[in-house]
């Protein structure tokens, strides 16, 4: 098995996921494409940086490291097989950063779904209308009309937080796979170099 190539594939897989997390999070700032809710501070507390920092920026670092692991110009801890093993073990640290970021993204998105959007309700107050429903509002679309403004706030939040939850979950799994891959590559041998192959 080629641990370096596996790391590279994981890295390339993480890049578009990180970009999608950032885009989904940015869209949460503008319900229905309107900027006034962001400028007035009428956004859910879970909108702030869940996908931008967690699923986005904290995933770029490990992704770029994983992509560079299999390259010939990667020096890592040294040029020989022991150095490549050290490099694979070091990639575990980057994967743990990715696990933390994707976990933050997934947990923040799940909390955003459970609490519901910040919206103007029938009593003309801005609050979390569905906070006491323990997420049951997700199953009862008839209650969504309790949010008067922004229009379709529930659909907007449910759609985008669900996307962030799914993307964060996939990123988490990929980073977890890289932890295992990095441990195996470091302990068993890097393999797949041009002239050598190291097997477990």
Query: Which residue reads 């590559």 in tokens?
Result: 185
DSSP 8-state secondary structure symbol assigned to residue 71 = S
Average pLDDT over residues 136-151: 89
Average pLDDT over residues 49-58: 91
Reported pTM:
0.85
pLDDT of 83: 59
Q: What's the chain's average pLDDT?
A: 85
Helix, strand, coil fractions of the chain, as percent rounded to 5: 70, 5, 30
Average pLDDT over residues 62-89: 69
Q: Comparing 85 with 53, which gets the higher pLDDT?
A: 53
Band of residue 197 on the pLDDT scale cut at 50, 70, 90: very low
Average pLDDT over residues 134-151: 89
Q: Tell me the CA distances in angstroms from 124 to 42, 87, 144, one per residue in order.
A: 13, 58, 16
pLDDT of 82: 61
* 8 Å CB contact between 87 and 187: no
pLDDT of 72: 53
Q: What does R_g of the chain's alpha carbons equal in angstroms?
A: 21
pLDDT tens readout for residues 152-194: 889 999 999 999 999 999 999 999 999 998 888 878 765 544 4
State the DSSP H helix or E strand holding residue 63, giving kind and residue range, or none if neither: helix 58-69
pLDDT of 17: 97
pLDDT tens readout for residues 79-123: 555 656 777 888 899 999 999 999 999 999 999 999 989 999 888
């Amino acid at each position: 098995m080629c641990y370096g190539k596996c790391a590279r594939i994981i890295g390339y897989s993480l890049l578009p996921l990180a970009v999608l997390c950032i885009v989904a999070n940015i869209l949460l700032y503008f319900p229905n494409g309107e900027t006034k809710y962001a400028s007035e501070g009428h956004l859910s507390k879970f909108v702030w940086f869940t996908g931008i920092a967690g699923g986005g920026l904290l995933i770029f670092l490990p992704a770029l490291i994983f992509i560079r692991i299999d390259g010939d110009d990667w020096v890592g801890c040294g040029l020989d097989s022991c150095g490549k093993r050290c490099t694979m073990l070091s990639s575990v640290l980057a994967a743990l950063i990715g696990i933390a970021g994707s976990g933050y993204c997934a947990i923040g998105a799940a909390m955003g779904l459970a609490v519901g959007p910040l919206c103007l309700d029938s009593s003309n107050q801005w609050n979390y209308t569905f906070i006491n429903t323990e997420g049951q509002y997700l199953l009862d679309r008839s209650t969504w009309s309790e949010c008067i403004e922004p229009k379709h706030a529930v659909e907007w939040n449910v759609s985008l937080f669900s996307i962030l939850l799914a993307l964060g979950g996939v990123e988490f799994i990929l980073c977890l796979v890289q932890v295992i891959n990095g441990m195996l590559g470091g302990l068993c041998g890097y393999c797949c170099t041009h002239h050598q192959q190291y097997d477990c």
